[in-house]
Amino acid sequence: MTTLPAHIAEHYYSLHQPNPDTAADAAAVIDGFVNEYTAEEAGRELWLLFSGALTSEHLPYSDIAQERKCMLHFYEYVKALLEATYALQPIKTQNA
């Protein structure tokens, strides 16, 4: 089950199969994401997920510093990936 729009889900699932259009499918997923969220919204949502998980009483091993360090590392890496993704997108005009 997915909550992705059907046209994006199709490209997403194609990434997991041998496919000559892998780059096109990956680009379609990225385009769908950047059209759905601004860079600021994406960063805010990522922060909400991270901070919510980190402060949850239900997080396994949350009392272990190494686990929290791994979560922070993953958060920072995904944040960098998001920023790089937006930096590679063509600049869209206000009227587009």
CB 30 within 8 A of CB 73: no
Half-sphere exposure of 92 (CA within 13 A, CB side): 11
- Total Cβ atoms within 10 A of residue 58: 6
User: pLDDT tens-digit profile of 29-39?
Assistant: 999 999 999 99
User: pLDDT tens-digit profile of 27-73?
Assistant: 999 999 999 999 999 999 999 988 888 888 887 777 788 888 888 88
Could you give the maximum distance between any two Cα atoms of the chain, in Å?
49
Phi and psi of 60, rounded to 5°? -65, 135
